Amino acid sequence: MTPIDVIIIGGGAGGLSCGITLASAHQKSWFDDRRIVVVDDDRSDLNQALLNNAPGIPMGTTGTMLLETMRQQLAAFPVASLVEARALRVRRHPESGFEVALDNGTTPRCLTVVLATGYKRWELEGLSTDPCRHPRGGKPTRLAFDHDEAYCMESDLYVAGLLAGGSSQFAIASGIGAQVAVEILSGWAGKRTHVHDVPVPDKSS
Ligand SMILES: Cc1cc2nc3c(=O)[nH]c(=O)nc-3n(C[C@H](O)[C@H](O)[C@H](O)COP(=O)(O)OP(=O)(O)OC[C@H]3O[C@@H](n4cnc5c(N)ncnc54)[C@H](O)[C@@H]3O)c2cc1C
């Protein structure tokens, strides 16, 4: 079976933002027939949040409402899907890419992995590195991975959201997710790129 192009582990602020931004490029000629999968087990910190300071989000929005909006936004793109499952293990496939073992008994293969599991726990087995203390997390139990300026930990392995070291604000976690997507898209495009849409002019008047 053809490997999925990107599996994002964690569908909170960072992971969903990464998936939405990746999928929004699906009409670019260089996107080809790539596929994006977000794996999530519904433990986002957003489930506890009431947002009055997230830019562009109406004040009083609950985090659960925002998660649902982002999930619907992801689902609107034909190249993306959300799998409700817990990832148990990630390891390099002997040929190329990775295989991700899920608690639903499947082990999908993919070419690129984005880790976006938040900064409170680390449960995945199989990687050669472990997270270290988060630089901006306050509590000593908060976790982050080292990465380069493109949020890349090692070849084809990225980190997004708070696990990449950002402070705990929705805008920061989702912003890092979008930046990771732009880095991956730029690799696919073979040049620096980003995805902008513009309104279609109304010709009726
Ligand atoms: C009580 C509270 C109030 C907050 N209020 C605000 C606020 O007012 N304004 C603001 O800007 N920010 C607020 N935040 C912060 C905001 O919620 C976080 O910054 C943001 O959710 C972090 O995004 P993330 O993607 O890094 O992690 P999360 O959103 O926590 O997402 C991580 C996701 O990874 C999934 N996951 C983890 N491990 C696995 C696995 N092995 N397999 C599959 N899925 C996995 C989890 O289920 C989760 O959905 C608040 C947070 C809390 C806790």
In a domain, 204, yes or no: no
In a domain, 185, yes or no: yes
In a domain, 86, yes or no: yes
In a domain, 202, yes or no: no
**Inter-residue contact 162 to 156 (CB < 8 Å):** no
Q: Is 7 helix (H, G, I), strand (E, B) or coil?
A: strand
In a domain, 149, yes or no: yes
Ligand 1 centroid from CA 24, angstroms: 22
Range of the domain at 104: 4-189
Atom of ligand 1 nearest to the CA of 63: 17
Specify the number of domains making up the chain.
Answer: 1
Number of CB atoms found within 10 A of residue 201's CB: 7
pLDDT on residue 11: 98
pLDDT on residue 1: 77
User: What residues does ligand 1 touch, defined as CB less than 6 Å away?
Assistant: 9-15, 39-46, 48-49, 51, 53-54, 63, 86-87, 116-118, 123-124, 161-163, 168-171, 173
The answer for residues whose C-beta is within 8 angstroms of residue 18's C-beta and 6 or more apart is 8, 114, 116, 160, 177, 178, 180, 181
pLDDT on residue 204: 82
Q: What is the pTM of this model?
A: 0.98
Residue 118: CATH number of its domain? 3.50.50.60
In a domain, 205, yes or no: no
pLDDT along the chain (205 residues), means of 10: 95 98 98 98 98 98 98 98 98 94 98 98 95 94 97 97 98 98 98 95 82
pLDDT on residue 77: 98
Name which residue sits closest to atom 47 of ligand 1, judged by CA: 43
Summarised one tens digit per residue, pLDDT across range 61-101 is 999 999 999 999 999 999 999 999 999 999 999 888 999 99
